[in-house]
Structure 1
Amino acid sequence: MIVMKFGGSSVANRKQIEKVLAIVRGRAGRTPLVVSSAHKGMTDALLSGAREAARGVYAPERVIERQAAIARDLGCDDALLAPFYEEISALYRGLSLVRELSLRSLDYAASFGERMAVRVIADFFTREGLPAQAFDVWDLGFLTDAAFGSARPLPGYEAAMQRAVRERVPAGVVPVVTGFVGKTEAGDITTVGRNGSDLTATLVGAAIAAEEVEIWSDTDGVMTADPSVVKKARSISEMRFDEAAELAYFGSRVLHPSTLVPAMQKNIPVRVLNTNRPEHPGTVIREAAPPSELSATSIAYKEGQLAVTIRSTRMFGAAGFLGEAFQALGRHEVVVDMIATSEVSVSFTTDRREPLDRALPDLERLGEVRVEAGKTLMVVVGRRLAAQAGLGAAILQAVADAGVNVEMVSYGMKSISLTMLVADKDVGAASAVLHERLFERA
Structure 2
Amino acid sequence: MSYDLLVMKFGGTNMQDSRAIRHSASLAARSVRVGVKVVVVVSAMAGVTNQLLKLADAAQSGDIAAANDEIALMRTRHFTAAQELGAAPDSITVREIREMHETLRQAVYGVYLLRELTPRSRDLIVAFGERLSAPLMSLALEQDGLRAHHLSGGEAGILTDSHFGNAKPMPNTYERVKDRLSGLLSAGVTPVVAGFMGETEKGAITTLGRGGTDFSATIVGKALGADEVWAWKDVDGVMSADPRVVKDAQNIEVLSYGEVMELAYFGAKVLHPLAVTPLQESGIPLRVKSAADPDFPGTLVQAQPRDEDGHPVKAVTAIRNVSIINVSGAGVLGIPEVIASVFDAIARENVTLLMVSQSSSMSNVSLAVQTVDAERTLAALRAGVSLELKVEEQPGVAVLAIVGSGMRGQKGVSARMFTALADQDVNVLMISQGSSELNVSVAVEAAHVDAATLAVHRAFGLGAATA
Asked if these proteins are the same fold (TM beyond 0.5), I'd say yes
Superposition deviation, residue 317 in structure 1? 6.8
Shift of 1:425: 1.2
Q: Aligned-pair distance for 1:120?
A: 1.4
User: Contact 2:349–2:380 (CA<8 Å) still a contact in 1?
Assistant: yes
Residue 324 of structure 1, CA deviation: 4.3
The CA deviation at 1:35 is 0.3
Number of the residue aligned with 1:348 = 367
Q: Does 1:37 align with 2:43?
A: yes
User: Paired residue for 2:318, among 301, 305, 309?
Assistant: 301
Q: 1:432 Cα deviation (Å)?
A: 0.8
Q: Tell me the matched-pair count.
A: 442
Partner of 1:62: 73
Is 2:182 the counterpart of 1:176?
A: no
CA distance 1:19–1:367, change in 2 (3 Å): same
In the other structure, the counterpart of 2:342 is: 325
TM-score for the superposition, normalised by structure 2: 0.89
Which among 58, 67, 71 is matched to residue 82 of structure 2? 71
Match of 2:163 among 120, 123, 147: 147
1:270 match? 286
Q: Does 1:397 align with 2:419?
A: yes
How far apart, CA to CA, are the structure 1 residues paired with 2:347 and 2:401?
25
CA apart distance, 1:333: 3.7
TM-score of the superposed pair, with normalisation by structure 1: 0.94
Provide the C-alpha distance between the structure 2 equivalents of 1:317 and 1:87, rounded to a whole number of angstroms.
Answer: 55
Q: What is the distance in 2 between the residues matched to 1:53 and 1:224?
A: 41
Percent of aligned pairs with the same amino acid: 32
CA shift for structure 1 position 414:
4.9
**CA shift for structure 1 position 364:** 5.3
The residue aligned with 2:304 is 288
Aligned-partner Cα distance in 2 for 1:428–1:355: 27
Change (3 A) 1:336 1:47: closer
Relative to structure 1, is the Cα distance of residues 318 and 47 closer, same or farther in structure 2, using a 3 angstrom cutoff?
closer
Amino acid at match of 2:205: I
Q: 1:197 to 1:332 in 2, by over 3 A?
A: closer
Answering whether residue 463 of structure 2 is matched by residue 440 of structure 1, we say yes
Native 8 Å contact 1:143 1:182 kept in 2: yes
Contact 1:238 1:284 in 2 (8 A): yes
With 70-79 and 374-383 compared, the bigger mean Cα shift is at 70-79
Q: Is the 8 A contact 2:184 2:190 kept in 1?
A: no
Q: How far does the alpha carbon of each residue in 1:182-231 deviate from its partner, in whole angstroms, 9 at most, with x for none?
A: 12222221111122100111111111211111111111111000111111
- The alignment status of 1:24 with 2:28, answered yes or no, reads yes
1:92 positional shift? 2.9
SS at the partner of 2:108?
A: helix
* TM-aligned CA deviation for residue 345 of structure 1: 1.9
Structure 1 pair 325/103, CA: closer, same or farther in 2 (3 Å)?
closer
Contact kept? 1:363, 1:369, Cα under 8 Å: no
- SS state of the match for residue 65, structure 1? helix
Tell me how far apart the structure 2 counterparts of residues 336 and 53 of structure 1 sit (CA, whole Å): 31
Shift in Å, 1:286: 0.4
Matched, 1:338 2:355: yes
Please say if residues 274 and 280 of structure 1, whose CA atoms lie closer than 8 Å, have aligned partners that are also in contact: yes
Question: CA-to-partner distance for each residue in 1:268-297, whole Å, 9 max, x for gaps?
Answer: 101001111212211000011332121311
Partners of 1:202 and 1:347 in 2: how far apart?
A: 35
After the TM superposition, which residues 207-286 of structure 1 pair with which residues of structure 2 at under 5 Å, given as runs?
A: 207-286=223-302
Matches within 5 A, 1:50-199: 50-54=56-60, 55-58=62-65, 59=68, 60-79=71-90, 80=93, 81-169=97-185, 171-199=187-215
Deviations 1:373-410 (A, max 9, x none): 11111100111223222121011110111221111111
Equivalent in 46, 55, 59 of residue 49 of structure 1: 55
When residues 167 and 321 of structure 1 are mapped into structure 2, their CA distance, relative to the original with a 3 A threshold, is same
Select which of 343, 346, 368 maps to 2:390: 368
Q: Is the contact made by 1:334 and 1:356 (CA closer than 8 Å) also made in structure 2?
A: no
| Alpha-carbon shift at residue 441 of structure 1 (Å) | 6.2
Q: Cα distance 1:200–1:319, how it changes in 2: closer, same or farther (>3 A)?
A: closer
Gaps of 5+ in 2: none
Cα separation, 2, equivalents of 1:172 and 1:70: 26
In the superposition, relative to structure 1, how do residues 365 and 434 fare at CA in structure 2: closer, same or farther (>3 Å)?
A: same
Moved more, 7-16 or 385-394: 385-394
Q: Which secondary structure does the structure 2 equivalent of 1:117 belong to?
A: helix
What is the distance in 2 between the residues matched to 1:22 and 1:15? 11
Preserved contact between residue 144 and residue 151 of structure 1 (Cα < 8 Å): yes
Conserved in 2, the CA contact under 8 Å of 1:19 and 1:276? no
Q: Deviation of residue 321 (structure 1)?
A: 4.8
Amino acid at match of 1:188: A
| Cα gap change, 1:144 to 1:316, in 2 (>3 Å) | closer
Deviates further, 122-131 or 248-257: 122-131
1:14 aligns with 2:18: yes
Structure 1, 253-262 or 159-168: larger mean CA deviation: 159-168
> In structure 1, what residue type is equivalent to 2:20?
Q
Contact conserved, 2:341 with 2:384, CA < 8 A, in 1? no
Alignment partner for residue 384 of structure 1, among 374, 383, 406? 406
Judge conservation of contact 2:431–2:442 (CA < 8 Å) in 1. yes
Q: Distance in 2 between matches of 1:348 and 1:114?
A: 35
Cα pair 1:76 1:120 within 8 Å, conserved: no
Looking at structure 1, the residues matched to 122 and 344 of structure 2 have their Cα atoms a distance apart, in angstroms, of 31
**Aligned twin of 1:411:** 433
CA contact (8 A) 1:10 1:17 kept: yes
After superposition, the CA RMSD in angstroms is 2.0
> Residue 114 of structure 1: SS of its match in structure 2?
helix
- Which residue is 1:420 aligned to? 442
Letter in 1 for 2:73: R
- For residue 6 of structure 2, what is the amino acid of its counterpart? I
SS at match of 2:367: strand
Alpha-carbon spacing, 1:220–1:325, altered in 2? closer, same or farther (3 Å): same
| Larger mean Cα displacement after TM superposition, 188-197 or 91-100 | 91-100
Judge conservation of contact 1:46–1:63 (CA < 8 Å) in 2: no
SS of 1:214's equivalent? strand
